[in-house]
Amino acid sequence: MRSLRTRITVTMLLIVCGALMLVTFLSAVYIQRTESRESEEILMNMCEAGVRSLDYYFDSVEDTVIKVTDYAENHLEGLGKDDLEAHMEIVCDYFDMMASKTKGVLTYYYRIDPSVSTDVKGFWYVNVAGEGFKEHEVTDITLYDVEDTSKLVWFTAPKHEGKAIWLPPYITENLDAYVISYDAPVYYNDKFIGVVGIEVDYSIMAQEVDVIRLPNKGYAFLSDENGYLFYHPFIDVTKIKSGNLFEIPYDTATGDDNVVLYTYEGVDKKAVWLPLSNGMRLNVSIPLAQTQATAKRLVLNIIICSVEVLILASIFMMIYTKRLTSPLEQLTKAAEKVEKGEYDFSLTYDKDDELGRLTRAFQNLSDNVKEHISDLSSQVFVDSLTHVKNKGALINTLEQIQKEIDIDPDSVEFAIGTFDCDNLKLINDRYGHDKGDIFLKTACFAISDVFKHSPVFRMGGDEFNVILQKEDLSNMQVLLEQFDDKVKTINEEANKPWEQVWISKGFAVYDKTRDKTTIDVMKRADDLMYENKRMRKAARK
């Protein structure tokens, strides 16, 4: 893929494709999350409305039973066994009044424990045909073991629990009707007397649940905390044994808080649930695919639009990149010439656009490079602080002298001087690096002023070097005395510590009998400089 046009087109298409894929992915995630959150809110709102309706219904039943229980217990105060029959009549009248005001009551009853009385058994009123409550023959409790909670549960369960409870759906034996009941024990002086209860028509409860209408195969149902069904719109719970069937196994379902994800009959579903006042749970469920249907349609539309944009972008890129090819080819050829050091070329593209400005900028750049290339070469070997030659220039000079030594050592004469500024660290630490720079510049001035006919180099930090040849080499001792006088003058006129000059120096003259390389001369100069530094330090003490 050597064609610039092809590479630009492919690159831009890859970028557009990547951007579209990223936008599509982020949009899909956002849409799915939004759809999931909105579906959960809708389901929860419907569940809350159902709970309010069912709780109102169940609360009215509980309220009636509790009021009758309290009434019965209060009326027992001061009564003897002979008054129990009259007690039952009074409570029956009150119960009839309360039950007639309570929706969905199929039967109500007040039964006496056989241990309290074998003569007074209590009463049981039923309203099967919807023509009002009529007294019905009561079940003979003496035929059962009242301590066995698996039998006669409407009586034995509240007696065993010692509190009012809701019983799961069961078939009342004498009426062959499916009911749920709320039963409360009656006590007098902490002695169990009997049970007050209401049996609610199961169909009334089913109607309250069926009022919750959901689209797309959604439905509501009742279960206990383990998921076992009390009511299901598509399952006849009356024909199964209690606890043998469940839809939501809460212990294995996944979800947060009151939202549950589960699989039922091979279908992935989402449900929300809320507890009812009677301990049941109202569940509102819908197939998971239905909650995602809108999101999938939106994502599909986004994908289709992305493909269309990609096709249009491909056509546009192919057309647009074509106009870039010619001037870019000119720039490429010009750059190849510059690479070879050739700066004589002319670029003809001069339109007022980015490429035209780039072309003109490149032409100007090449002209400027050509003009300043010599200046740049010289600046490479200049120290930026002191403006004397730098370490690179010293190395080049020493290499040139070494070549002369290698050719004819007898014809080479030179000396190397090494200078080291004392107390630079002290100046930097005490007065700041800007004062340290002044300190270095002053020292460099002293060296350059005395050895003005010889090249001066800054090796870096506080070290300088000078190479003496010809006249300066012959006058080396004189120059060294002048240097000492120069330093003395500067220090006498200085008002600040950083304006003074404190330099240790060492000079070594090339000796062909002991110096094989310029490095040998440099080392001897360094050694003499350090010896001078020690002597000066000892003198100060």
Which of the listed ranges 20-34, 265-279, 353-367 does the model predict with the highest average pLDDT? 265-279
If you average pLDDT over residues 174-180, what whole number do you get? 79
Query: Is the model's pLDDT at 1 over the cut of 50?
Result: no
pLDDT digits (tens, 9 = 90+) for 455-512: 999 998 899 999 999 999 999 999 999 999 999 999 999 899 998 999 999 999 999 9
pLDDT digits (tens, 9 = 90+) for 434-462: 999 999 999 999 999 999 999 999 998 89
Confidence at residue 375, expressed as pLDDT on a 0 to 100 scale? 63
Query: Is the model's pLDDT at 293 over the cut of 70?
Result: no
d(C-alpha 86, C-alpha 83), whole Å? 5
Confidence at residue 98, expressed as pLDDT on a 0 to 100 scale? 92
**Among 2-11, 86-95, 303-312, which is the least confidently predicted range?**
2-11
Helix (H) or strand (E) holding 407: helix 391-407
Residue 92 in 3-state DSSP? helix
CA 88 to each of CA 105, 133, 435: distance values in angstroms, whole numbers, following the listed order: 20, 16, 113
User: Which residues are within 8 A (CB) of 360 and not within 5 positions of it... i.e. 6 or more apart?
Assistant: 347, 350
**Among 134-143, 182-191, 304-313, 408-417, which is the least confidently predicted range?**
304-313
Question: Can you name the residues that pair with 273 across neighbouring β-strands?
Answer: 283
If you average pLDDT over residues 318-345, what whole number do you get? 73
> How many CB atoms within 10 Å of residue 123?
19
288-339 vs 4-75: helix axis angle to the nearest 10? 150
Query: Of 160, 155, 128, 127, which Cα lies nearest the Cα of 141?
Result: 155
71, 74, 78, 80 alpha-carbon torsion, rounded to 10°: 40
- Residue with the two structure tokens 């930026």: 384
Name the percent of the chain lying above pLDDT 70: 93
CA 40 to each of CA 48, 215, 257, 452, 541: distance values in angstroms, whole numbers, following the listed order: 12, 14, 11, 90, 90
Confidence at residue 333, expressed as pLDDT on a 0 to 100 scale? 77
Confidence at residue 404, expressed as pLDDT on a 0 to 100 scale? 93
**Phi and psi at residue 126, to the nearest 5°:** -130, 155
Query: Is the model's pLDDT at 2 over the cut of 70?
Result: no
If you average pLDDT over residues 514-524, what whole number do you get? 94
Confidence at residue 35, expressed as pLDDT on a 0 to 100 scale? 74
Structure tokens at 50: 């159902």
Would you say 462 and 421 are in contact if contact means Cβ atoms under 8 Å apart?
A: yes
d(C-alpha 180, C-alpha 106), whole Å? 10
Would you say 198 and 268 are in contact if contact means Cβ atoms under 8 Å apart?
A: no
CA 185 to each of CA 181, 198, 307, 493: distance values in angstroms, whole numbers, following the listed order: 13, 12, 72, 116
Confidence at residue 463, expressed as pLDDT on a 0 to 100 scale? 95
Task: List the CATH code of the domain at 1-201+293-332.
Answer: 3.30.450.20
What is the gyration radius of the CA atoms in the chain, in angstroms?
53
pLDDT digits (tens, 9 = 90+) for 371-404: 776 566 566 788 889 999 999 999 999 999 999 9
Mean pLDDT of the chain: 85
Would you say 406 and 502 are in contact if contact means Cβ atoms under 8 Å apart?
A: no
d(C-alpha 374, C-alpha 185), whole Å? 112
d(C-alpha 267, C-alpha 247), whole Å? 11
Greatest CA separation for the chain: 152
> How many CB atoms within 10 Å of residue 507?
22
Q: How many residues does the chain have?
A: 541
Would you say 110 and 123 are in contact if contact means Cβ atoms under 8 Å apart?
A: yes
If you average pLDDT over residues 423-430, what whole number do you get? 90
Which of the listed ranges 151-155, 168-172, 393-397 does the model predict with the highest average pLDDT? 393-397
What is the secondary structure of 100-166 as a DSSP string? Answer: HTSTTEEEEEEEE-TTT-SS--EEEEE-SSSS--EE-PPP-GGGS-TT-TTSSHHHHHHHHHTS-EE
**Phi and psi at residue 399, to the nearest 5°:** -65, -40
Q: Compute the 3-state secondary structure of the chain and give helix, strand, coil in percent, each to the nearest 5.
A: 55, 20, 25
Q: Given pLDDT bands bounded at 50, 70 and 90, which one contains residue 31?
A: confident
Q: Given pLDDT bands bounded at 50, 70 and 90, which one contains residue 44?
A: confident
Does 389-540 match 1-201+293-332 at the fold level? no
Confidence at residue 437, expressed as pLDDT on a 0 to 100 scale? 93
Residue 402 in 3-state DSSP? helix
User: In CATH, what is the architecture of 389-540?
Assistant: 2-Layer Sandwich (3.30)
Which of the listed ranges 19-28, 233-242, 495-504 does the model predict with the highest average pLDDT? 495-504
Query: Is the model's pLDDT at 318 over the cut of 90?
Result: no
If you average pLDDT over residues 285-302, what whole number do you get? 77
d(C-alpha 491, C-alpha 513), whole Å? 40
Structure tokens at 21: 């894929």
The bridge status of strand 415-421 relative to strand 463-468 is: antiparallel
- Starting at the earlier edge strand, list the strands of the sheet with 463-468: 389-390, 456-460, 463-468, 415-421, 503-509
If you average pLDDT over residues 155-178, what whole number do you get? 84
pTM: 0.49
Indicate the domain borders of the chain.
Answer: 1-201+293-332, 389-540
d(C-alpha 272, C-alpha 169), whole Å? 23
- Residue with the two structure tokens 């982020």: 26
Would you say 475 and 442 are in contact if contact means Cβ atoms under 8 Å apart?
A: no
CA 333 to each of CA 6, 320, 329: distance values in angstroms, whole numbers, following the listed order: 18, 22, 6
Confidence at residue 95, expressed as pLDDT on a 0 to 100 scale? 93
Query: Of 113, 133, 146, 217, which Cα lies nearest the Cα of 175?
Result: 133
Q: Given pLDDT bands bounded at 50, 70 and 90, which one contains residue 244?
A: low
Query: Of 506, 508, 520, which Cα lies nearest the Cα of 405?
Result: 520
Half-sphere exposure of 160 (CA within 13 A, CB side): 14
